Structure 1
Amino acid sequence: MSLRSRFGAFALVGTVAASLAAPAFAQAGDASQCLVPGGWARADGVAPQVVDGAGLLAAMAQRAVVLLGEQHDDMDHHRWQLQTLAALHAQRAHLVIGFEMFPRRVQPVLDRWVAGELTESEFLAQSEWNKVWSMPAELYLPLFHFARINRIPMLALNIEPTLTRAIAEKGWAGVSEAQREGVGQAAAALAAYEDFLFEIHEQHALARGKSAAKTARSDAGFRNFVDSQLAWDRAMAEAVVAGRQRHASADGALPLAVAIMGNGHVRYGHGVAHQLRDLGEHSIGQLMPVGADTACGELSAGLADAVFAVPVARQSAPPPPRLGVALEEHAKGVRIAEVTPGSLAQRSGLRPDDIITEVAGKPAKRPLHLIAAVRLQPGGTWLPLKLQRGGESVEMVVRFPVER
C-alpha cells in the first residue's frame, strides 16, 4: 500500500500514520551502508559508531524511562523489542511496560491479563484489539506473554482516536476539558519537530489537490494538526510517569518504565521524550531498530541513543500486496485521499473521497486496519470492502492477482 505521507504513528489524523515509523530518509544518492547486522550503533557523529550491546543495555537499565521504537507491521522489530526487554528485565526486575497500542480506558483489562485471569482470546476481545489497534495480534503477543509470565505490569498509554481527531479539527483550545481525558497542556513543539510536521502537512495538502503555496504555518489547519500530535505525545508521557508512581515499591523506589511505541514518537527526542522532560523526567533512554542495509545518511546525529541493526531478510517471496492509495482518517472510517493511476485500487474501482467503513466484515476505524488487511491478503483471493460514496453505501471486492 502506497502512502504519500512519511508518518507511521500519526494521523492527519491518519495519513501521517505510516511513516513516523521509519527513521529519517537517506540523502539522494547516498547508498553507503555502515551497520553490522545484529549489532548496536550510536548515531552521534558524522557516521554511526559501533557500541557494545551489553554495556549499552546495562546503562539503559539505570534510566528512569526507556523508549523502544518500532515500525508497527515489522515482526523483526517486535522480536528486537522482546530481546531488549528481556535484557533490561534481567538487570532490573522492577519494571513496567507501556504500550501505545492500548487506550487508557482498557487498563483494567491489561491488569487482569498480567494477573493471569484472562485467556489470550479473552484478553484480545476485552481489550478490543481489533478496534483499538487492529494490526495482527501475532506481532505483539510475544510481548504480552512476556509481561504476563513475569508478572510485569502493563500500562495503557494512548488516548482515543476520537480525541486526536477532535483536536486536529478544532485545536486544543477548541476541545472542552471534559473531552481531554485528563491530558494536560503539552509543552510547545521543538522547532525541528514543527518543521517536520509542517512538511507532512504540506504533503497532505498536495495529496488533496491543494497548492503548497497556500499552506502557511499560521494556518488554523496546521496549528490544529500540531496540537493533535503534541497531545498524543503528552498523553503517553503522562501515562508513563503516572504508571511509575502507581507501581512504586513499598520503600518508594520507582520501576524502570519501558515504553513500546512507533518510531515517530521516539526519533530525535522530539515527541514523548520532549514531553517527559517538561514533566520533570530527564533520565530517558531512546532506542530504535533499523534495517541493517540502512544508508549512513539516514542515521544522523541525535536520531536515538542507539539503533539496532535488524538483519534484512533475504528471500524470494513476493513483496506484500499494495492497493496504491493515500489514506487519512475520517469520522466514519478511512478516507481515500488519492488513488495511484494503474494501481490495484484504480482497477478495482476505488476513487478519491471514498470512505471505507468495513474491511472483510470488520470496522475500518484507522488506516492501519486497511493496511494490515491488505498486507496479509494471499494472492488470488478476494477482499470485500464496504464504503460510503457520495452519501451512498457501496459494497466492493478487491481481487488480488495470483502470485507468480
Structure 2
Amino acid sequence: MSASGRKQTSRILNGRQMIEKIVAALLIATGTLLSPGCVGIGSSRPDILTLPVGDPERKGQQVSVQVDAVVNTLSGSTLSPQALSKHLADARLILIAEQHTNLEDHRIQLRVLELLQETERPLVIGLEMFEVEDQPILNAWIAGRVTEPDFIVQSDWYGSWGYHWGYYREILLFARAHAIPLVALSGPWEVVSETGVEPDLSSQDHRSLFRAFFETDDPVHGGLQEDQFEELFAAQCRRDAVMAFNVAEALEAHPDTTVVVLAGIGHVVYELGIARQIQEWYEGPVTTIVPVSVGDANTRVRASIGDFAWGVPEMTDPAFPELGAVSVRVEGGLHVIHVEPDSPAERGGLETGDVLTRFKDVAITAKPDLNRTLATVKWGDEVALIIQRAGAPRDLTLTFQR
C-alpha cells in the first residue's frame, strides 16, 4: 500500500466512531435491521416489534401474528389476503415496509400489488431505491424501451442501491407487464429545503424507535454519543421528508390512483417516518402494511406498528449470497471494518483491517465493484480473493455456504 493509502487507512482507524456512525446511518436509513442477513422484523429484534409508540389508540395493545395471515391491528381480527384487498379498496396511499434482503417481504409487496391490480384500480408505485434523477430510466423501463440487463446498468443499480437485483426483479417485471408507473422517491434534501419546509424533528416516539435500532453491542452499530445520535436522527427525518415530498407530488400528479410506496421498515413502522413527514403536503389517510417474521406461535407485535401486520416465515439465511463483512473505500480497495461471525468472510479468513483488492478475479476499487461481482455468486461457490494485510498481499478462498 502506498504511503498515502497507509495515511488514509490510519485516519479511518483513528476515526472509528465516525465510520461506525456512517455505516449505522446507512443501515438504518435504508431499512436494514441490525443483523447479518437483514432478517425479517421479528425474532432478531423483538424490542422493536413491541415498542409502546405510535398511534395512541393502539400503542397500549399487542396482537398475535401467524405465518401467511394478515392481522388488522385496530380490530385484532385475522384476514385473508382477499379480505385485505377489500380493506384497501378506497386507500389512496399505501406504505409497505421491507427488509431489503428478505425475499419474503418482497413477496408480500408483490402480492399486495397483485391484489390491487385485480381490482382494476389504477396504481402508481413509489420506490425508495431510486433517486429522482433516475426517473427517465424508470419511464423507459415501463415503456419497454430498455432491456433488463441495460436497465440494471443504466440505473446504476449496484452502485446506487447495491442489494441483489433478484430481491426486486419480480416487482419491477410485474410493474412493466401491467404498465404501472414507477416513481423515484429518494433524492437530495435541497429538493425539499427549497420549498422552505424543514423536517419535523419533534416526535419523541420517533426518537425512541430510532434509538431502539442502536441499542446493541454490535461493534459497528453500538456506542453512539448523544450528538451523533441527534445528527443521525435529523438525517433520517430529512430522508423521510424527501420521500414524503415526492410521494405527495405523485399523489397530486395522479389524482385518481392508489400510490403504493415500497420502503425500508425504518421509514414505515409505527407511521413515524414517511407517514408523519407527509402531513406537510398531504392531509389524507395513510395505510401501512408491515411484514413480520414469525419465529414461533407466540409472536406478538405492538398494535400501533402499522394498520396491517402480515406474518411471513422467519428467514434463517439470505436468498442470495452475502460476504458478511462491512467495509469502506480506501485507496486501493475496500477496508474491512467489521466481519460478521460465522459468515463466508470469517470462515474464509477475512479479518478486520484487511483491504480487499480483488474478488473473483475482478479488481475492487469501490463498493459497486464488489456488489456487481458478488451478484454473480451462487450458494456453494468458491471464490478467490486477494487482500492486503499489514501491507502485504495475501490470497484467500471463500466458500459461500449457508
- Shorter-chain TM-score bucket reads 0.7 to 0.9
Q: Hey, what does 1:19 align to over in structure 2?
A: 33
* 2:209 is the counterpart of 1:193: no
Q: Which amino acid aligns with 1:256?
A: T
Q: What are structure 1's unaligned runs of at least 5 residues? A: 1-9, 164-171
Q: Which whole-Å CA distance do the structure 2 matches of 1:305 and 1:209 have between them?
A: 29
1:228 to 219, 235, 239: 235
**2:87 matched residue in structure 1:** 59
Deviation, structure 1 residue 381: 0.3
The aligned amino acid for 1:118 is V
1:238 — aligned with what? 245
- Contact map agreement 1:58 1:91 (CA 8 A) in 2: no
Contact 1:328 1:337 in 2 (8 A): yes
Indicate conservation of the 8 Å contact 1:101/1:133, yes or no: yes
Q: Secondary structure at the match of 2:101?
A: coil
Deviating more after overlay: 142-151 vs 327-336: 327-336
How far is the alpha carbon of 1:279 from its aligned partner?
Answer: 2.7
CA distance 1:153–1:322, change in 2 (3 Å): closer
Paired position in structure 1 for 2:123: 95
Q: TM-score, normalised by structure 2?
A: 0.73
Q: CA deviation at 1:257?
A: 0.5
Question: For residues 34 and 122 of structure 1, do their structure 2 counterparts lie closer, same or farther at Cα, with a shift above 3 Å needed?
Answer: same
2:72 to 37, 42, 46: 42
| Shift of residue 112, structure 1, vs aligned partner | 1.1
C-alpha distance in structure 2 between counterparts of 1:367 and 1:288, whole Å: 32
Structure 1 residue 81 and structure 2 residue 81: aligned?
no
Counterpart-to-counterpart distance in 1, 2:70 and 2:384 = 40
The 8 Å contact of residues 95 and 256 in structure 1, kept in 2 or not, is answered as: yes
Letter in 2 for 1:400: T
- Structure 2 distance, partners of 1:368, 1:77, is 25
Which among 253, 260, 263 is matched to residue 261 of structure 1? 263
Higher mean displacement: 63-72 or 128-137: 128-137
- How many Å apart are 1:259 and its aligned residue? 0.8
Structure-to-structure mapping, 1:101-250, within 5 angstroms = 101-159=129-187, 177=190, 184-188=197-201, 190-201=203-214, 203=216, 207=219, 212=223, 216-217=225-226, 219=227, 221-246=228-253, 248=254
> Are the structure 2 counterparts of residues 179 and 91 from structure 1 closer, same or farther at C-alpha, using a change threshold of 3 Å?
closer
Per the alignment, residue 380 of structure 2 pairs with 379
Contact 1:71 1:77 in 2 (8 A): yes
Task: With the length of structure 1 as denominator, give the TM-score of the two structures.
Answer: 0.72
Q: CA deviation at 1:273?
A: 1.1
Provide the C-alpha distance between the structure 2 equivalents of 1:151 and 1:299, rounded to a whole number of angstroms: 36
**1:303-314 superposed matches below 5 A:** 303-311=305-313
Aligned pairs, number: 357
What one-letter code is carried by the residue in structure 2 that aligns with 1:283? Answer: P
* 2:273 maps to 1:271: yes
1:284, 1:179 → 2: CA distance?
21
* Alpha-carbon spacing, 1:39–1:153, altered in 2? closer, same or farther (3 Å): same
Indicate the larger mover: 35-44 or 358-367.
358-367
- Percent of paired sites with the same residue: 25
Counterpart CA distance in 1 for 2:72 and 2:370 is: 31
What amino acid is the match of 1:245? Answer: E
Shift in Å, 1:225? 0.9
Distance 1:383 1:88, change over 3 A: farther
Alignment check: 8 A CA contact 1:15 1:328 kept: no
CA RMSD of aligned residues (A): 4.2
Deviation at 1:145, TM superposition (A): 1.8
Q: For 1:202 and 1:292, how far apart are their aligned partners in 2? A: 22
Structure 1 residue 351, shift from structure 2 partner: 3.4
Tell me how far apart the structure 1 counterparts of residues 180 and 236 of structure 2 sit (CA, whole Å).
29
